[in-house]
Amino acid sequence: MNQTHFIEADELQRTLAEHRILDCRFTLGDGGAGRQQYLEGHIPAAQYAHLETHLSGPSGPGRHPLPQLHTLAQTLAHFGIEHNSSVVVYDNNLAFAARAWWLLRAVGIENVRILNGGFGAWQQHQGPVQQQVEPIVPSKVERLRWQAASYDYEAVAAAIKTSAITLVDSRDGARYRGEHEPIDPIAGHIPTAINKDWQQVCNTSGFVREQSFHQQRWRQIPLDKPLVIYCGSGVTACVNILSATLAGVETAIYPGSWSDWCDHPGAVVAAGEN
């Protein structure tokens, strides 16, 4: 697998001391479950990065808005992460590790890799696990700036009127088609959006699919205009951004995603297949 964005469990075991490690395990609907899993056992020296307190902001468009830059800078300093740090992130299903991967790269931290197969792969390779939370020496707070392309509600709404973007919805097919909506108050999708379920990116064992899969997956998408990816709240969209990156395709994100779109009075909603 692409070694720029992924690290295998055996390599991580050999190079453990060279990285800052973030455990990103999380369970939607139970905000404390991920930290509890972390406390029950984690990769040595890993620090716990909570989706809603470290990888998201407290308020803003959508359920998981991006953190403010000054807050994110303080979070990274707390974890001892600097611009030149080597960072490894992991979880149980790729979704939350991908959010951390995207977020760090979005502010210019380039050497970020995801543990392929997550914590399960670490256990399969009999990697050491500890319960102790090791103290970490904070780094200085660095100045950050967003370096990733993003669209807000107004930009997406204007762009779809003129077919100026290619829009990809990362949720599962049933939510995309509006057949059911377990989280948001309105079911459906943004008009013109194409559906690419983020869960297709990994195989049934939780490992990212081979390079050829991603190349073929995005070859089917019109790429003659900006490719903007969204999901329910801007988290699993990062998995599709990762997939597109593996295929060499540039993307932008709509961070507020469906949870922001359907919160706007008068927002146009589509249902069924596009």
pLDDT in the model for residue 265: 94
Distance of CA 252 to the CA centre of its chain: 13
- Quick one: what percent of the chain has pLDDT higher than 70? 99
Quick: pLDDT tens for 148-167. 999 999 999 999 999 999 99
pLDDT at 256 exceeding the cut of 80: yes
Q: Is residue 274 scored above 80 in pLDDT?
A: no
Q: What is the pLDDT of residue 3?
A: 82
What's residue 1's pLDDT? Answer: 59
> Which pLDDT score, from 0 to 100, does residue 273 have?
87
Write down the catalytic residue from 24, 231, 238, 262.
231
3 state DSSP class of 178: coil
Give the whole-angstrom CA distance, residue 11 versus residue 71.
32
Domains defined along the chain, listed by start? 6-124 (3.40.250.10), 153-261 (3.40.250.10)
Residue 231 falls in the annotated catalytic set: yes
Rounded-to-integer distance, Cα 36 and Cα 31, Å = 10
Taking the C-alpha atoms of residue 164 and residue 148, their distance in angstroms, rounded to an integer, is 19
Mean pLDDT of 165-171: 98
d(CA 235, CA 24): 12
What pLDDT, on a 0 to 100 scale, did the predictor assign at position 220? 84
Q: Alpha helix locations (H) across 203-272?
A: 211-219, 237-246, 257-261
pLDDT (tens digit, 9 = 90+) per residue, 52-83? 999 999 998 999 999 999 999 999 999 999 99
How far is the first Cα of the chain from the last one, in angstroms, to the nearest whole number?
33
Rounded Cα distance, 250 and 152, in Å: 18
The mean pLDDT of the chain is 96
Contact 218, 243 (CB under 8 A): yes
User: Residues 101-132: pLDDT tens digits?
Assistant: 999 999 999 999 999 999 999 999 999 999 99
Sheet holding 20-23, edge to edge: 6-7, 112-115, 87-90, 20-23, 47-48
Least confident of 35-39, 68-72, 164-168, 222-226: 222-226
Comparing 220 with 87, the larger pLDDT belongs to 87
| CA atoms 100, 106, 109, 115: torsion sign | positive
The SS3 call for residue 142 is: coil
Contact between 239 and 118 under an 8 Å Cβ cutoff? The reply is no
Tell me the average pLDDT across 122-146. 96
